[in-house]
Amino acid sequence: MSLILLRALLLWLASGICFATALSGSYLLPSNESFHGLLNLTHKNSTIQEAERLIAAAVEQQSIYNAFRVANPRRNNYRHDPKPNSSKLRRDSYDGPAPPSLNETVLAAAALIAEVDALSQLANGTYNNDTRLASQILETLTPSDHGKRHAEADGYWLPELSGDGLPPMGYDSSYPVLRVVTDAKYGAKGDGVTDDTKAINAAIADGNNCGKNCLSSSVKGTLIYFPPGTYLISSPINAYYYSQLVGDANNRPTIKTSPRFIGLGAIQTDVYNPGASGDEWYIEQSVFYRQVRNFIIDIRDTRTGSVAGLHWQVAQATSLTNVAVIASRDTSSRNKQMGMFTENGSGGFMSDVTLSGGAYGIYGGNQQYTVRDFIIDGQTKACINLIWDWGWTWSRLTLSNAPVGISLINPEQTTGQVAGSTYVMDSRFIGISTGIYAEFNKTVLDSSIITLDNIGAENVNRMIGFSDGSHLDIPADSVDFVVVGDVAVTI
């Protein structure tokens, strides 16, 4: 049986026996032997068995590759060309394991297995519980006054746009600026059981949009709209240059990664080129003009190692707003998930973001960044792990229920580059063993400046601790203002 016919059978099962209620968004599945018998037959189908073997190998390779990328974050490091009389610079080479090939066969197999897994969840009764739990987690973490948005009686304004707008530059009457992923042209379903990866990426790429080999373009701006729903994906959504991914602000859509998801991040702003020593679609410091807002990203079910909700590698004129990432709450060492992996870049703005679970809420670094209104809770290692930066300003953070609030030590390369300036203001640390974790001799006395301005703390053992076991003798309940580092004071 072909993949196309088999997927059609699976979707017929989902649409014919399961239905979504308009009020709750949950799925109801009658118990009947015919459904379970037919589902059992699909599991025994040779096409599915072959797809499972293919995807098992791809997931294993992706886990190895992800671990390498996290341990060896890509930076814009250059060295002089060794040739005589050469003044040219060559980029550092990052040789390492290759990612799995995401060719059409692998992508089709991943989509098929994602739908099989979703139907299995429906059959064993875990799908409803899973989606309800996501909402409960966010309701528990988010105070009533945090990023509150009031739904209008007539709904969100964006879907009411005509869709016939034209680019302001590089005039092309055939180029669609507004794309709705559920339009028939693209075909996303948002029903939680149909794999929507291909449809979403088709909406983004439509009209020869600025993706691979484009580098940058200011004449192909796009807005890709996601109506409310649950969008199942089996490989990453690629956020293109000068593109905005926007969900319904009143009823945020969910991007749900499949258990056997193949990728580094559910949404990625830059894409590593296989076999290119770590080179990517875009230059790290030129990943401009992209926005992602109004989404819930659920990666809890994914078993692929070191996966992130967002592979957020960006520069100026970028923003991330009103987004929640829900990662696994598994407290064992197997949990290597991250809310956000941001290994490099050059600036940007993020606000109204909730990161729940995983090993890290944010793992990575950037040249300079401004962050406001983040809730980061329940990580097994640290809410934030800054492996490097020039300057990062944090405003109105709530960091809770983790061993470390903000770590300034790269756990993979403890002797490498360290964080620069870290300014935290008007923020809270709750249920944190160590608020700020650093290396005194190398970090604080060498390059890092830590500024705490109007900080509240509850159940915090030490506000600033160091890797040698010592800590700064300041109150662990509240901090009015303190600067730590190699600074000169003039009176």
The full set of domains in the chain, from first to last, is: 55-380 (2.160.20.10)
The pLDDT > 90 percentage for the chain reads 45
From first CA to last CA, the distance across the chain in angstroms is: 81
Q: What angle do CA 155, 156, 158 make, to 5 degrees?
A: 140
Separation between Cα atoms, residue 376 and residue 380, nearest integer Å? 12
Each residue of 210-268: pLDDT tens digit?
888 887 777 778 999 999 999 999 999 999 888 999 999 999 999 999 999 999 999 99
7-21, 140-154, 271-285: least confident range: 7-21
For 197, the token pair is: 């990866």
Collect all residues with Cβ–Cβ distance below 8 Å to 140 and sequence separation of at least 6. none
The residue among 298, 320, 221, 290 whose CA lies nearest residue 253 is 298
Mean pLDDT of 457-479: 88
User: Is the predicted pLDDT of residue 289 greater than 90, yes or no?
Assistant: no
Q: Kindly indicate the confidence band of residue 28, based on its pLDDT and cuts at 50, 70 and 90.
A: very low
* Amino acid symbol at 134: A
What is the chain's alpha carbon radius of gyration, rounded to the nearest angstrom? 23
15-29, 198-212, 326-340, 402-416: least confident range: 15-29
Each residue of 367-378: pLDDT tens digit?
777 899 999 999
Q: What angle do CA 58, 62, 64 make, to 5 degrees?
A: 120
Mean pLDDT of 318-339: 94
The pLDDT > 70 percentage for the chain reads 76
Sign of the four-CA dihedral 204, 210, 211, 216: negative
Separation between Cα atoms, residue 191 and residue 395, nearest integer Å? 37
- Tell me what percent of the chain is helix, strand and coil, each rounded to the nearest 5: 25, 35, 45
Q: What is the pLDDT of residue 21?
A: 34
User: Is the predicted pLDDT of residue 410 greater than 50, yes or no?
Assistant: yes
Virtual CA dihedral for 99, 104, 106, 107, nearest 10 degrees?
Answer: 90
Which residue has 């640290």 as its token pair? 382
Separation between Cα atoms, residue 280 and residue 392, nearest integer Å? 24
Q: Kindly indicate the confidence band of residue 398, based on its pLDDT and cuts at 50, 70 and 90.
A: very high
Cα–chain center distance at 488: 39
- Choose between 208 and 32: higher pLDDT: 208
Q: What is the pLDDT of residue 29?
A: 42
Each residue of 417-467: pLDDT tens digit?
677 788 999 999 999 999 999 886 655 656 678 899 999 999 999 999 988
For 388, the token pair is: 């490097």
Q: What is the pLDDT of residue 341?
A: 93
Within 10 A of 446 (CB to CB), how many other CB atoms are there?
Answer: 12
Q: What is the pLDDT of residue 303?
A: 94
Mean pLDDT of 15-27: 40
| Mean of the per-residue pLDDT values of the chain | 81
User: Is the predicted pLDDT of residue 394 greater than 60, yes or no?
Assistant: yes
Cβ burial 386-411 (10 Å sphere, 16+ → b, else e)? bbbbebbebbbbbbbbbebbbbbbbe
The residue among 441, 437, 434, 293 whose CA lies nearest residue 353 is 293
* Residues 360/339, Cβ–Cβ less than 8 Å: yes
Separation between Cα atoms, residue 141 and residue 375, nearest integer Å? 7
Collect all residues with Cβ–Cβ distance below 8 Å to 4 and sequence separation of at least 6. none
Q: What is the pLDDT of residue 311?
A: 92
The residue among 365, 408, 356, 361 whose CA lies nearest residue 381 is 361
260-264, 294-298, 318-322, 426-430: least confident range: 318-322
The residue among 238, 355, 226 whose CA lies nearest residue 287 is 238
* Residues 463/436, Cβ–Cβ less than 8 Å: yes
Half-sphere exposure of 87 (CA within 13 A, CB side): 0
For 231, the token pair is: 């969008």
- Choose between 200 and 166: higher pLDDT: 200
- Choose between 457 and 142: higher pLDDT: 457
Which residue has 């990052």 as its token pair? 94
For 233, the token pair is: 């994906």
User: Is the predicted pLDDT of residue 14 greater than 70, yes or no?
Assistant: no
Q: What is the pLDDT of residue 34?
A: 44
- 8-state DSSP, 101: P
The residue among 381, 384, 389 whose CA lies nearest residue 417 is 389
